[in-house]
C-alpha cells in the first residue's frame, strides 16, 4: 500500500522542513559554528547540512539528535514554528 500526500499536505511538509532548517541555521549561527566545522564534527557533508538548512532535504530524527547535541540545544528548539 503506497501513501501519497495531497498537494496541500506536501506544501505543509515542505514548510515544516524549511522551518526546521531555519532553526538549525539559527542554532549554528548562535554558536558561531561554520557549516564546514559542523560538517567536520558531525561527519555530515557540507552540502547535506546546507540542504537541511534550506529545507530541501529530509532530515532524520537521529540526525536532528546528533545536531542538537553538537550545537548544545534541545531538539525542541529545532521544532519550534517560526
Q: Tell me: pLDDT of 58 over 60.
A: yes
Task: Mention the CATH class of domain 8-79.
Answer: mainly alpha
Q: Tell me: pLDDT of 78 over 70.
A: yes
DSSP string, 2-56: -----HHHHHHHHHHHHHHHHHHHHHHHHTT--HHHHHHHH---HHHHHHHHHT-
Q: Tell me: pLDDT of 10 over 60.
A: no
Domain spans, the chain:
8-79
Which pLDDT score, from 0 to 100, does residue 4 have?
A: 63
Q: Could you tell me the pLDDT band of residue 12, with boundaries at 50, 70 and 90?
A: confident
Cα torsion 69, 71, 78, 45: sign: negative
Distance CA 54, CA 1 (A): 31
- Mean pLDDT of the residues in the chain: 89
pTM (2 d.p.): 0.84
Amino acid at each position: 500500500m503506497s501513501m501519497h500526500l495531497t498537494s496541500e499536505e506536501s506544501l505543509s511538509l515542505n514548510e515544516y522542513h524549511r522551518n526546521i532548517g531555519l532553526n538549525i541555521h539559527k542554532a549554528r549561527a548562535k554558536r558561531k559554528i561554520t557549516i564546514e566545522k559542523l560538517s567536520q564534527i558531525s561527519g555530515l557533508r557540507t552540502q547535506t547540512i546546507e540542504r537541511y538548512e534550506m529545507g530541501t532535504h529530509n532530515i532524520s530524527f537521529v540526525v536532528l539528535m546528533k545536531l542538537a547535541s553538537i550545537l548544545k540545544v534541545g531538539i525542541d528548539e529545532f521544532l519550534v514554528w517560526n
